[in-house]
């Protein structure tokens, strides 16, 4: 089996808070983009990678939507079925952080869901917050990869749960580009982007990413908390966290 679909992307994340006090920061990242049908093959070929088992770096079903006793693909299909969508066996790929030394935090994971002819049917944007909660947005990007959704999930303690997201989600190719903006009361209060360049999934590339970005998933969490402390010390008011009703199959 040739691994022609799975890849790594190395690039950067940019956050730009525009409401009230301006706060812009960026950090370097790498992310996995895996065809869910290739996970077992990745496990066999890569010495550092494990599919739902202990390894230096691993992707686990319990870190994503649905029942952790099922495969990630089965859980995605169950979620889509609950929304009346049947991919008919089409490919599903996942853009995500993998666990490193057992730890992961994924602010955003993206499932690209395709029809049997390879065209994009929909996207599931899976969001985690630092309070251990998870929420999924079902998106149907148009021809230009654009989609929108009302904000339904508490992420930043400095932004209320209202307004709408505007997103551009191009299917990853040689380049990765994910753009998002949050509008509240007609104002663009927050914007974020994830960009990167494709790297082949080989033992050498995985080793280079682990060395070049050591403990990256822990670093992501640390940077998020650091920015929160900076905003708090600069006098930005916190927004109370409302209860988050669990979603079916999430």
Pairing of strands 49-51, 57-59: parallel
Domain boundaries, the chain: 7-233
| Distance in angstroms (rounded) separating the CA atoms of residues 184 and 170 | 24
Q: Where are the alpha helices (DSSP H) in the chain?
A: 39-45, 72-82, 203-212, 216-233
Distance of CA 71 to the CA centre of its chain: 18
Q: What is the pLDDT along the chain (250 residues), one digit of tens a residue?
A: 455 689 999 999 999 988 777 788 899 999 999 999 999 999 999 999 999 999 999 999 999 999 999 999 999 999 999 999 999 999 999 999 999 999 999 999 999 999 999 999 999 999 999 999 999 999 999 878 899 999 999 999 988 999 999 999 988 999 999 999 999 998 999 999 999 999 999 999 999 999 999 998 898 899 888 888 888 888 888 899 999 988 988 9
What sign results for the dihedral spanned by CA atoms 232, 234, 239, 244? negative
pTM: 0.95
């Amino acid at each position: 089996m040739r691994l022609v679909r799975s890849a790594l992307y190395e690039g950067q994340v940019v956050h730009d808070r525009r409401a009230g006090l301006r706060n812009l920061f960026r950090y370097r990242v790498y992310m996995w983009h895996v065809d869910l049908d290739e996970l077992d093959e990745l496990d066999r070929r890569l010495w550092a990678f494990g599919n739902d088992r202990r390894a230096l770096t691993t992707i686990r079903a319990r870190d994503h939507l649905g029942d952790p006793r099922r495969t990630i693909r089965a859980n995605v299909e169950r979620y889509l079925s609950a929304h009346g969508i049947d991919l008919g066996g089409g490919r599903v790929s996942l853009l995500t952080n993998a666990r490193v030394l057992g730890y992961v935090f994924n602010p955003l994971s993206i499932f690209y869901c395709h029809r049997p002819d390879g065209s994009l049917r929909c996207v599931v944007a899976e969001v985690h917050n630092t309070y251990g909660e998870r929420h999924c947005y079902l998106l149907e990007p148009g021809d230009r990869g654009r989609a929108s959704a009302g904000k339904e999930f508490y992420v930043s303690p400095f932004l209320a749960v209202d307004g709408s997201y505007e997103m551009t989600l191009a299917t990853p190719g040689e380049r990765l580009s994910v753009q998002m903006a949050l509008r509240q009361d007609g104002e663009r209060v927050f914007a974020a982007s994830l960009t990167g360049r494709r790297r082949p999934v080989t033992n050498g590339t995985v080793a280079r990413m682990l060395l070049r970005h050591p403990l990256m998933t822990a670093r992501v969490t640390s940077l998020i908390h650091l920015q929160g402390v900076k905003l708090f010390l600069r006098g930005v008011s916190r927004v109370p966290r409302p209860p988050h009703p669990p979603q079916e199959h999430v």
